Structure 1
Amino acid sequence: MLSKVGRLTHLTRQFSTSVVRRSEEWQQRGLPGSNMPFNIGNRYKLMAAFIAFFGSGLGVPYLLVRHQLLKE
């Protein structure tokens, strides 16, 4: 029983360190924003994406209420 737990612990430790190593190899270390899934280089494109993302989430309830009120 103890050997199974030991093997499981060893495998989890190996997996977590390999993930950290892999992420460091694929990304540029030390640069702000290098680990983000979107580009932050163009501030106007980033601003438009933020407005579209948050605006759609905040605007949908109002559009649905308007649709319900105008529906006959």
Structure 2
Amino acid sequence: MFANRFASASRSLMTSAIRRGGDGGVPGGNLPFQIQNRFRLTVLFVAFFGSGLALPFVLVRHQLLKK
């Protein structure tokens, strides 16, 4: 009995959140970047995650070359 009420409440909450969204439920409509161009998206992801991954190595190299 409690599970039925909880399930119906969560379903109504989800649908009302989608209705309030304003973008019509378009996939990627609420993202701060465009996902239509796959090449551009790939370049942005590689640059974003690659810079974070490379930063410790660049810092270690800088410290080792410092006199």
Give the TM-score, by structure 2 length. Answer: 0.65
Identity across matched positions, percent: 56
Quote the RMSD (CA, aligned, Å): 1.7
Shift of 1:57: 0.6
Residues 24-35 of structure 1: pairs in structure 2 closer than 5 A:
24-25=21-22, 27=23, 29-35=24-30
Aligned length: 50
TM-score (norm 1): 0.61
Deviation, structure 1 residue 30: 2.3
Structure 2: gaps spanning 5 or more residues? 1-15
Show structure 1 runs of 4+ deviating over 3 A: none
Tell me by how many angstroms 1:32 deviates. Answer: 1.1
Q: Amino acid of the residue matched to residue 57 of structure 2?
A: Y
The amino acid across from 2:37 in the alignment is N
- 1:51 counterpart SS class: helix
Larger Cα-atom Rg: 1
